[in-house]
Structure 1
Amino acid sequence: MGRNFSELFADAHWVTPDISRDWVRYRNDENPTGVCWHVPASSDSPILSVIIPTADADRGGYFAKLMESLTAQDMQDFELIVLKGDKRQGRGINISASLAKGHYLLTLDDDSSLPDSKTFTKLIAAMELHEDIGMAGGNNTVPEWATPFVKKVMIQVPRRSWEPVSEIIDSDLAEHPCLIMRAELFRKVGGENEVIPRGLDPYLRQVFREAGARVVVLPDIIYHHLPPETWGDLLGQMYRNGYQAAFANIHSPEWVIETPAEHGEFTLRVPLWKRVLRYPFRMLGSVFKGHELWVMCQLSYAWGFLRGWVKEGGWK
């Protein structure tokens, strides 16, 4: 009989992890605050380790629904590692990866949703068949059951959803909300960057590419990465993103990498001055498209970036 992760979560035992992660390239040991819940696999050498970093193991009820998705997976040879409360998501993932025994690592966000019970089976099959793939993501689509507001966010905001691919394609849209990686390669490239508060996805994709591995999106893998459900929460998130982007541009500009909204090749780095100049034109384009929600998000992001730039000393 399979495991019921909802019941296991109700009785979860959280512990402070005490583990070395000397393999991490950019490590941050300042004020680690996370606690760990570990559900081992039935075997000592599972094929998959599922890693979920989370602020509160709730996320407005999304986390509980994710536990139901794990219970429904037809492939149960996986361990679950949840790292709760660490303000550095990259560190949380690295700590979890240090504990992991799986041949593959799969990261999920606490607000991810897996509608297909064969997701894990399909991900592993693709990795086994294509040895040149280092990391692979799925297709983020708009769920039918989402509220009208959430649907609007996912349609208007770039990278929040896209048309599922019909074949394996090299893509920058492979993202942490549903991302499988070869565990050995993850550790070899130094894991997540624990120093930066924002930009983990583009950094990790790039170091995998530099190691000679493909970064792809797979066909027939569907997930939903759900945005905030209210205007206040959405604009607050965009403000924080803007502030953290300013922090990254000031303190670690070498790790600021482009995040295109489409699959395929792209320019890796664009100078800050050029990004600033193109911003109002992109916003104007959103106005002409009637994407008023995305315009408001862009304004909130810009305000956060400006506040961050001033407070973090970017004007000096």
Structure 2
Amino acid sequence: MRIALVANDFSACRVKIWRLAEQLYGAGSVELFMVNPIQMQDGLSGERCHRWSATHIDVLAKQLRQFNVIHFFCDSTAAAADLLTQLKGRSVVLHRHDISSLRGIEDPTEPWVMNHPGTEIVITSPEHAQWLQRIAPAKTLTFIPNAPLKSEMLPRSSRPRRKGVMYYGGLVASPGAQDSGTGYRFYWPQWRELCKANIDVHIFPKRTKQNTVAQFYRQLPGCIVHRPVAADKLVSVISEFEVSFIGYNDCGVDSVRHNYAMSCWPNKAFDPVAARTPLLGYKAGSSEAVWKDHWGIAINELDDLVAGYRKARRMNPDWSFLQKEYCLDQFTDRLSDLYKRVAV
């Protein structure tokens, strides 16, 4: 079985699926095709990670047809829509971690996704099933969460942690952020509260090209902006700190986009389990139901963030039990069944 993973950007979710597919079919059977990638990631095999220009979509479509399974991480770009159109007649797996229309952003891939009879849709949040079933009631939806792999689970360690809070992911310098629709990633008010209490905040942005945004957050004394880390190294980095952060800003943000973000179950909620690192959540959405008071502290008011941090850093759950419960490897059979349904 040969598997082609297609995307235009890296994320921890995509790398995890890459690794899980390798477990099923062997390292040489899975290849990643990046269409106009914003940035390439270290640590992935150059022989099986290919960069493609949007001007050669027709050639890429022909190459993808040589694979038994095409697993498409949909991105709301014209190039992605063009590629899907050229795959007419093929059954494909479509990973819908981000559903752009629910964020109020036009997505040229969505008509194909919803109407093509050969699509199998993967969701990463149970809440998204309710929304997608209203849009496309005939579609089969398969839930595979953004949980860490067994190979990422770290053992108990007596190594001292760096004091403070760490955050990995996207961020913006304005709650408006209308260009990206991600004003809910404006964290100045939350991190200011922590820094005022002499609690350092360590930021690992997803993008390398965020100099302006980085300079904005560096104005906060105690806010340290690091270079991005590769998805394969993320758990190790989280484990260096006392507490990991998850949350969404709701001040000055478009309500449609904010409400969508609150429905997501990101890897930020689950990777701390692999790192044995407590979680501090600020208005973190529906994933709270999973981690609240198990490996994280949920906060809804700015004034409570400092106390929440102090509670989180004292948490000592049964990490070994949690690592067995929240492991992506449990979904190996589900991914295998999905691939068998679309394989040619």
TM-score, structure 1 length as denominator?
A: 0.29
